[in-house]
Amino acid sequence: MGVGIEVSDLNAWYGTNHTLQEIQLTIPANHATALIGPSGCGKSTFVRCLNRMHETNPIARVTGKVLINDVDIYADASPVEIRRRVGMVFQRPNPFPTMSIYDNVASGLKLNGFRSRRVLDEVVERSLRQSALWEEVKDDLKKKSGASLSGGQQQRLCIARALAVDPEVMLMDEPASALDPVSTAKIEDLIFELKSQYTIVIVTHNMQQAARVAENTGFFLMGKLIEFDSTHKIFTNPHDKRTEDYITGRFG
Amino acid sequence: MRIRFHQSLDDLKEKLLVMAGMAEQAIQRAIEAYRTRDTSICDLVMHGELAINKLEREIDQMALDLLAMEQPMAIDLRFILAVIKINADLERVGDQAVNIAERVCDLNAFAAAEMPVDIPHMASLASSMVRKALQSFIEGDAEMARSVLAMDDQVDKMNEAAYYSLSILIKDQPSLTAQALNALVIARNLERVADHATNIAEDVIFWVRGADVRHHQGDPQNATS
C-alpha cells in the first residue's frame, strides 16, 4: 500500500482561532479515507489544507508539511497546479449553471489549454462513464445545462468535472449529505469504484457511510486528530474513549 | 446525546436479566426435583419453559429493532450482539432444565438407587458458573467473566468421570441400566449448562473488551499478562 498523502505538523488558523493543531497523518494511496467528527472539529479545514483552499481566505494561515505523492504542496507547487492534482467535491453540487453538461465536464481541460475536439470528447465521455452518469446524459450532452439535472446527477457531474483533469487525489466534503438515499447509494458505489484509481478523502457526518466506503477513518475533535485507524477498528472497538463516546452518541 | 437509545439499551439489559433469572431458576428447580424426586417441581420447570421461550423472542425483537433503527456502533453494537447470543444461551439453559426434569420423571418410574455420580455437586458448579457469568454481565466485568472460563474444565472432567463410572455400573449391575442412563443424561445436560455459561462469559469479554476469545483465541489485552 503506497503513501498517497503524508501530513506532518500541520496547523491551521482562522484569524486567532487555531482550528487545526499539530496534525500528523499518513493517508494510503488508492484507498478511501473517511474523516469524522462533530461540527467545527476541523475536518473540513483539514481537507481544504490538502488542496491549498484554506489559504484563499484572507484571515487564514497554515503551517506544516503536506506531501502528495512525495511533492510538498506548500513548497514545491503552485495552488493552481495543486488544484488540478487534487480534485474536490462539495456538499452542495455546484455545476456551472449556464454551461451545458459537456462544457461543465470539459471546463477544467479548457482552462488548462486543451482545445482538441477529439481529446475533449474522449475525456468527457470517459469522465462521465467513470462517474456513472454517461448513460443518463449521453443524448443531452450539449442540449441540457448542468443545472437541469437532478441533485444526485449534478453531484455526479461535479465528480466527472473533477475527474476530467486526471487528479491523483479526490477530496469529498460531505458529498452525499444533500442527496436522497438512492442518489447517496450511487455516490457511495462510485467512491467504491474510484478508490482503486484515486486516493479519496471523504468528510462525512454519516458514520454508516464512512463504514461502508472507507478502509480507514480518522476522528477529529476540537482541531486535533484524536484517532486514525482501520474503519473496522474505529467502528467496532476504537482505542480512544473520546472516539467511542462520539460514535456511540454519548458525546456532549 | 442519544438519551432514548441508551435508555433502550438499559431496558434491553433489564429484560435479559429477567430472562437470566428465569433460566437460573429453571436449573435450580430441575436439580431440586432430582434431589427430592418431586414431579410437581418437574411440572413447574416444564411450564416455565414457555415463559422463557416467549421472553427469548421479545428480547430478540428488541435487539433487532435497535439494530435496524439506531445503527449502533462500537461498544453499543457489541453489547447488542452479546445480548442476542446470551439470550440464545439462556434459552438453551432453560431447555437443559426441561431435559433434566424429563429425566427425573422417567427416573421416578424405577426404584431409587445410589448412583456413582454427584449430580447435586455438578449442578452446583454449573449453576455457579451461570450465576458468575451473569454477574460479570451485570457489572461489565471482563475479569470476572474470564474466571468462568477456567471453571468449565472442572465440569467437563466430572462429566467424563460420570460417563466412566456409570458405564461400569451398567456393566456390573444391568438391572440399574435405566437409572444409570438417566443419571448419565443429566450429567451431560449439566455439562451443557456449563458450556452455555462459558459462552455467556465469552460474550461478556467480547462486549467489554472487543476481544473474541471463543475457541481458545486470546484476548489481546491479556497478551502480556
- What's the gap in Å between the CA of A246 and the closest CA on chain B? 9
Is the confidence at residue A121, as pLDDT, over 60?
Answer: yes
Quick check: is A121 in a domain? no
pLDDT in tens, A21-39: 999 999 999 999 999 999 9
For position A141, what pLDDT does the model report? 95
Q: How confident is the model at residue A3 (pLDDT cuts 50, 70, 90)?
A: confident
- Residues of chain B with pLDDT > 70, as a percent, come to 95
CB contact under 8 A, B76 and A248: yes
Whether A146 is covered by a domain: the verdict is no
Structure-model confidence comparison of residues B221 and A41, the more confident one: A41
Residue B136's pLDDT is 97
All structural domains of chain B, each given as residue ranges with its CATH number in brackets, are 3-219 (1.20.58.220)
**Residue range(s) defining the domain that contains residue A26:** 3-94+168-247
> Which ipTM score applies to this complex?
0.70
Q: Which positions in chain A have a beta carbon within 8 angstroms of at least one beta carbon in chain B?
A: 207-208, 235-238, 243-244, 247-252
Is there a domain that residue A108 lies in?
no
pLDDT of residue B224: 37
B140 to chain A, any CB pair closer than 8 A? The answer is no
CA distance A237 to chain B (A): 5
Please indicate, yes or no, if residue A158 is contained in any of the structural domains. Answer: no
- Which residue in the set B1, B6, B75 is minimally distant from A244, CB to CB? B75
Are residues A246 and B74 in contact, defined by beta-carbon separation less than 8 angstroms? Answer: no
Residues of B in contact with A248 (CB under 8 A): 2, 72-76
DSSP conformational letter for A145: B
**Measured at the alpha carbon of residue B134, what is the angle toward residues B129 and B139, in degrees to the nearest 5?**
125
Contact A236/B71, CB-based, under 8 Å? no
- pLDDT by residue (tens digit) across A135-144? 999 999 999 9
pLDDT at B1: 63
Residue A88 lies in a domain: yes
| Per-residue three-class SS string for chain B | CCHHHHHHHHHHHHHHHHHHHHHHHHHHHHHHHHHHCCHHHHHHHHHHHHHHHHHHHHHHHHHHHHHHHHCCCHHHHHHHHHHHHHHHHHHHHHHHHHHHHHHHHHHCCCCCCCCCCCHHHHHHHHHHHHHHHHHHHHHCCHHHHHHHHHHHHHHHHHHHHHHHHHHHHHHHCHHHHHHHHHHHHHHHHHHHHHHHHHHHHHHHHHHHHCCCCHHHCCCHHHCCC
B73 part of contact set with chain A, CB < 8 Å: yes
Residue A152 lies in a domain: no
Is B112 an 8 Å CB contact of chain A? no
A79 located within any domain: yes
Residues of A in contact with B1 (CB under 8 A): 249-252
What CATH number is associated with residue A50? 3.40.50.300
* pLDDT value for B220: 55
pLDDT at B213: 81
Distance of residue B136 Cα from the nearest chain A Cα, in angstroms: 20
Of B86, B96, B56, nearest in space to B199 by CA: B86
- State the cell numbers at A235: 467502528
The answer to the question of residue A21 being in a domain is: yes
Based on the structure, what is the number of domains in chain A? 1
Q: Is B61 on the interface with A (CB under 8 A)?
A: no
pLDDT in tens, A75-91: 998 988 898 899 999 98
Q: What is the pTM of this model?
A: 0.81
Taking only the tens place, the pLDDT of each residue in B124-156 is: 999 999 999 999 999 999 999 999 999 999 999
- Residue B225 pLDDT greater than 70, yes or no: no
Residue A68 has pLDDT above 50, yes or no: yes
